């Protein structure tokens, strides 16, 4: 087929939006031509302070791409510059992808949380020591 061969890539997006969810991303599935530009949208209405974009490649490795927390964006330096996050507020974190490559084929998904692991507002709570309990036939003390 030579140089006329049409190359396509597929982006699968998890968590796309049934009406009863509170974190949604669109489009749910995306098939695009190599070299094209695409926009992946993520929105949450939970009032969370943190939003994330993740990529799971064909090797099943999960990598964090971007974190938006407390009006600031944190970028994973290993993410190519063709990927750029955009946000207008803490409820939206969109992902722009320029000049798609076949290596970009992956599952992309967004998430939100009240805090990040380093920015928790909760104090640690420890259960006081007590008598040993039997659980599933093993004794834990």
> What is the pLDDT at residue 117?
62
Asked whether residue 135 is assigned to any structural domain, the reply reads no
- Is residue 100 within 8 A of residue 39, CB to CB? The reply is no
Asked whether residue 113 is assigned to any structural domain, the reply reads yes
Arithmetic mean of pLDDT over the chain: 77
Task: Output the pTM of the full model.
Answer: 0.67
Please tell me the total count of domains within the chain: 1
Please list, in sequence order, all residues whose beta carbon lies within 8 angstroms of the beta carbon of residue 74, skipping any fewer than 6 positions away.
Answer: 66, 67, 68
Q: Which residues of the chain carry a pLDDT beneath 70?
A: 1-21, 116-141
Which domain covers residue 47, as residue numbers? 7-119
Asked whether residue 103 is assigned to any structural domain, the reply reads yes
């Amino acid at each position: 087929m030579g140089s006329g061969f049409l190359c396509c890539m597929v982006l699968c997006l998890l968590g796309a939006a049934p009406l009863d969810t509170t974190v949604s991303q669109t489009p749910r599935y995306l098939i695009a031509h190599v070299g094209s530009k695409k926009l992946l949208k993520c929105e949450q209405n939970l009032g969370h302070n943190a939003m994330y974009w993740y990529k799971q490649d064909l090797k099943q490795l999960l990598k964090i791409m971007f974190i938006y927390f407390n009006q600031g964006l944190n970028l994973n330096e290993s993410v190519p510059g063709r990927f750029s996050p955009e946000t207008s507020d803490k409820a939206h974190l969109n992902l722009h992808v320029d000049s798609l490559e076949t290596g970009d084929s992956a599952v992309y998904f967004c998430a939100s949380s009240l805090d990040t692991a380093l920015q928790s507002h909760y104090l640690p709570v420890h259960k006081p020591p007590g008598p040993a309990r039997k659980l599933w036939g093993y004794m834990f003390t």
